[in-house]
Structure 1
Amino acid sequence: MFPSSSATQIPSAKTMISAAASAAATIVLFRSLVKEYLPYEFQSYIFYKLKTMINSFSSEFTLVIEEYDNLNHNNLFKAAELYLEPIIPPDAKKLKISLTKKESKFSFSLDRNQEIVDTFNGVTLKWKFISKQVPIKYIPSPDNFNSMPKSEDKFFELSFHKKHRDMVIDVYLKHVIKKSKEMKEEKKSLKLFTLTPDRMSGRRGGVWQSVNLHHPATFDTLAMDMEGKRVIMEDLERFVKRREFYRRVGKAWKRGY
C-alpha cells in the first residue's frame, strides 16, 4: 500500500525542529549584526518598530505606572505598592521585606521582574514590577528643601485584554486607590509631631519630627465626671464620622478640647 497524499504532506518532527532551530539562529545572527554595525539610536528605532509591529497583532494592553512623574512623586505608584501587598501569593519565591524606623509592622513588596495576577469583576490583570539602573539624577526630597540622588527607575506594568481598557481606567484603578488608602490606615501608627530643632533655629531641614505614641491611657482609665466623659466620647465619635463633610465645606478636620 502507498501512503495517502495527505500523510506525505505532514512534515516530520525532525524537519520542524530543524526549521525552528534555523529560524532562531537567523534571529540571533540578525541581532548580533545590528548591535555590532548599527548606531545605538538606529538599533533602538528598529527594535521599537519590531515591537510595535508584534504588539499590533496582540490583544493585550499595558499601562505603565512610574514611581515619578517628571520630578513629582506618582501617587498611583505608591497606591499600587500598598494594594498589591495583601494579594501576594503565598507561594511567591522572592519578596522584598522592610521595617521603617517609625512603623511597627513589616512591609512586603515585589522584587524586580516579579509578577502578580489579580482578578477584578471577572477580568484577569497582570502586575509586573520593573526596576532599571540609570545614571544618577537628583530629585526634590519630601521636605522640598533638599534633593535626593536617584539611580534607578521603578515602575509597574499593568497588562490586560485591551477590550477592558475603559473599565480598568475608570473603575479598577479607583478600586486600587481606595484599597490602598484602607491599607495605609491599617499600617498607620499614632504619632506625636514637633518642629525639628533645625527649623526652630532657622536652619533648613525637615519641618517636623515624630515619635510613635504608645500610651496606656484610655477613656476607661480617665478620672472624669461620667456625664462629661459621655458627652466628649459622643462628640468625638460624631467628629470622626464627618471627615468627608469637613473636606466638602473646606474646613480643617481637627478637634480640640
Structure 2
Amino acid sequence: MEMVLDWRSVGSLLATIMVFRTAMRDFLPPEAEIFLRRLLTRLAAAFRPHVGTILIDEADGASGGANDLYDASQLYLGARCLATAPTVRLHKPRQAPRPVASLPDAHTTHDVFRGVLVKWTARPVERGASAGGGGGGVFNPYNPYGRGGGGGEPRRLELQFPRQHRELIHGHYIQHVIDEATKMRLRSRERRLYTNRAAAPGDDHHRLWTSHAFSHPSTFDTLAVDPALRDDIRADLLRFAARREHYARVGRAWKRGYLLHGPPGTGKTSLVAAIANLLEFDVYDLELTTVPTNSHLRRLLVSTTPKSVIVVEDIDCSLDLSDRKNKARDDENAAQLSIISPAAAAAMAAMGRESISLSGVLNFVDGLWSSCVGERLMVFTTNHPERLDPALLRPGRMDRKIELGYCSPPALRVLAKNYLGVGDEGCEDAADDPDTVSGLMADAEGLLAAGVLITPADIAEVFMGCDGAGATAALRKLADELRRRRDAPAVPVTAEAAMTTE
C-alpha cells in the first residue's frame, strides 16, 4: 500500500509540473520567462566548477579564410594528444610521406601544460551559427572535401581550462601550441617546386600554381664556381635568413633580390637549386609569358608562401623590359595610328593597359605588394643583363648582381672532384696513375688560366662522356678539347649578329 501511495505521489508531482509548465507558457510574459531561464542558468553555474572556454573556428569570420590557429591546434593535437584517444581522423595529402591525424567531431582529448589539465573538444558548427557563416570555398588540409559546393559543415575546436589559470592559457599555452606546430611543419614539410598555371576565369589563389616535389641534388659544395664567390653567396644567404628583426627595425620588407647573369651553361639554374637546398625554401618558377595582366601578377605574388624562392629565368626573353627606352617612339606610332584609325588606336591602348608591363614587374619586385609575404628571395636570371631596364637593376630591387662566367681553374677542381673523384688527396680510382692525373690537371688549369673559354656545362659533358673510362681518359679528352678551342680561328662577327647583340 505504501508503494502505491508513493507512485501516486510521483504521478501527482509530475502532473503538477506539467500544469505549472503550461501555465508558464500561457500566462507568463516572454520577458519574465527569459529572466527565469537566465536565473536558473546562473544558479546551476554556481554549483559547477569555474571553467574558461576558448572557441577556435575552422574559418576566420572576418574574411572567410582558413584559421591558422585551428590548423596549428589540429596538428599539435595529432602529434601530442591523440595517441591514447579512442577515435582519430586520418587524412593523407597527395604525395605526403605519412597521414595526418586530427580530432573527430564530438570527441574529446586532454593535454597537460605546466601542471594544468586542459580539455580539447571538436564540434561541428551549424551553418549560420559560426562567425564565418560556413566559410564557403576555403580550403583546409584537415577538411579537403568539406568546403565549397554545399559539402560538409564547418568545424570548431573548444578548449576548456580552469578559470583561475586564464592568464597561463591565454598568455603561454596558445603560443606554445603555435610554436610546436610550426616546428613540426618545418621538420616534416616536403619542399615543393611550383609553376604558375595559365590564367583562366574563376581561378582562385589555390589554383594559381601547380606543384611537384622538389628534390634537386645541387648544393653549394658541388657548385662549379670560384670558392671565394661561393662562400660569399652562402654567407649572404645565411645572414639574410637570420636577420628578420633587423629588416623590421630598419623598415624594410624581409626579402632579397638576386640577378644571376652570364653565358648559357655557367650554372645559374644549379645555383638557384643550391640556394633553395641551403635555406630549405620552396621554389616558385614564374613563367611571365603566361601572365596576362599586372593584376594577375599581383595575385600570383600574394599567393606565394614565406620561405620561398621566386625564380624568373631568362627575364630578358620573357617580355620587353626596355619599354621605357622606346616610349617616345611608341607614343609617336600611337599618334599616327589614331589619325588613321581612331578605333584601332583605342583597341591598342586597351590592350596595352591590360597586358603585363615593366611597371607591373617593378611593383612585383619592390612595390607595396612585394611586402605581403616575408622571408622570400627573388632571383632573376639572364644571359644579357645589358638588355634590362636600369630601373630593374637598382639596389632594393636587385640587391646583388652575380656574374657566373666561364670555367676557372678552381671551378675545374670542383668538377673533377664531383665527376672523377680527383682531389687534393689524390685520385679515388686506383687504376689511374696519380702523377699522370696531376699532370693532366695542371695542363687543363694552365689552358683555362691562359684564357680558353669553356663553360662548366661543357666540361661536365666531357666528363659524362668518359664515365667508366677513368680520370686519366677524361682529363686527357678535356685537355684536347681546350687545345682545340685555343687553336680554333676566331669567328668573325657579322653585321646581322652585331645588330642582334645590340
TM score, norm. by length of structure 2: 0.38
Indicate whether 1:54 and 2:29 are aligned. no
Distance 1:100 1:168, change over 3 A: same
- 1:208 and 1:47 map into 2 onto residues whose CA distance is 54
Q: Which moved more, 1:48-57 or 1:161-170?
A: 48-57
1:99-129 CA-partner distances (Å, limit 9, x unpaired): 1125333211112222222122222111111
Aligned residue type for 2:46: S
5 Å-filtered alignment, 1:10-21, equals: none
Indicate whether 1:204 and 2:202 are aligned. yes
5 Å-filtered alignment, 1:16-165, equals: 53-57=43-47, 58-70=49-61, 71-132=64-125, 134=127, 139-141=136-138, 148=148, 149-165=150-166
Contact 2:53 2:159 in 1 (8 A): yes
Instruction: Please identify the structure whose Cα radius of gyration is greater.
Output: 2
Distance 1:48 1:115, change over 3 A: farther
CA drift at 1:158: 0.8
The alignment partner of 1:127 has SS state of strand
CA drift at 1:188: 2.3
CA drift at 1:163: 0.7
The alignment partner of 1:235 has SS state of helix
Distance 1:72 1:226, change over 3 A: closer
Contact 2:77 2:102 in 1 (8 A): yes
CA drift at 1:138: 6.3
Partner in structure 2 of residue 171 of structure 1: 172
The alignment partner of 2:153 has SS state of strand
- 1:89 and 1:254 map into 2 onto residues whose CA distance is 35
Contact 2:60 2:135 in 1 (8 A): no
- 2:118 and 2:135 map into 1 onto residues whose CA distance is 33
Contact 1:134 1:151 in 2 (8 A): no
- 1:85 and 1:250 map into 2 onto residues whose CA distance is 37
The alignment partner of 1:61 has SS state of strand
CA drift at 1:159: 0.9
Distance 1:85 1:48, change over 3 A: farther
- 1:156 and 1:48 map into 2 onto residues whose CA distance is 26
- 2:168 and 2:84 map into 1 onto residues whose CA distance is 29
Aligned residue type for 1:139: G
Q: Hey, which of these two has a bigger chunk of strand by percent?
A: 1
Contact 2:55 2:156 in 1 (8 A): yes
- 1:207 and 1:52 map into 2 onto residues whose CA distance is 52
Distance 1:156 1:254, change over 3 A: closer
Q: Give the unaligned 5+ runs of structure 1.
A: 1-17
Contact 2:81 2:111 in 1 (8 A): no
Distance 1:54 1:241, change over 3 A: same
Q: Which moved more, 1:234-243 or 1:246-255?
A: 246-255
Distance 1:101 1:250, change over 3 A: farther
Question: How many residues are aligned here?
Answer: 219
The alignment partner of 2:202 has SS state of coil
**Structure with more contact order per residue of length (Cα contacts < 8 Å, sep ≥ 6):** 1
Distance 1:126 1:242, change over 3 A: same
Contact 1:189 1:212 in 2 (8 A): yes
Contact 1:128 1:156 in 2 (8 A): yes
Partner in structure 1 of residue 252 of structure 2: 250
CA drift at 1:47: 7.9
Aligned residue type for 1:185: L
CA drift at 1:195: 1.5
Aligned residue type for 2:44: I
Aligned residue type for 1:239: F
The alignment partner of 2:221 has SS state of helix
Aligned residue type for 1:250: R
- 2:100 and 2:76 map into 1 onto residues whose CA distance is 12
- 2:98 and 2:248 map into 1 onto residues whose CA distance is 30
Distance 1:236 1:85, change over 3 A: same
- 1:124 and 1:215 map into 2 onto residues whose CA distance is 46
The alignment partner of 1:250 has SS state of coil
The alignment partner of 1:158 has SS state of strand
Measured on the aligned residues, the alpha-carbon RMSD in Å equals: 3.6
Aligned residue type for 1:55: A
Contact 1:66 1:156 in 2 (8 A): yes
Q: Which moved more, 1:226-235 or 1:128-137?
A: 128-137
Distance 1:154 1:241, change over 3 A: same
CA drift at 1:191: 1.5
Contact 2:82 2:103 in 1 (8 A): no
- 2:119 and 2:127 map into 1 onto residues whose CA distance is 25
Aligned residue type for 1:186: R
- 1:62 and 1:130 map into 2 onto residues whose CA distance is 13
Distance 1:98 1:49, change over 3 A: farther
- 1:189 and 1:150 map into 2 onto residues whose CA distance is 29
- 2:120 and 2:223 map into 1 onto residues whose CA distance is 49
Indicate whether 1:217 and 2:218 are aligned. yes
Partner in structure 1 of residue 306 of structure 2: none
Contact 2:59 2:135 in 1 (8 A): no
1:114-167 CA-partner distances (Å, limit 9, x unpaired): 22221222221111112256589562446xxxx823531311111111111122
Residue identity over aligned pairs, in percent, reads 25
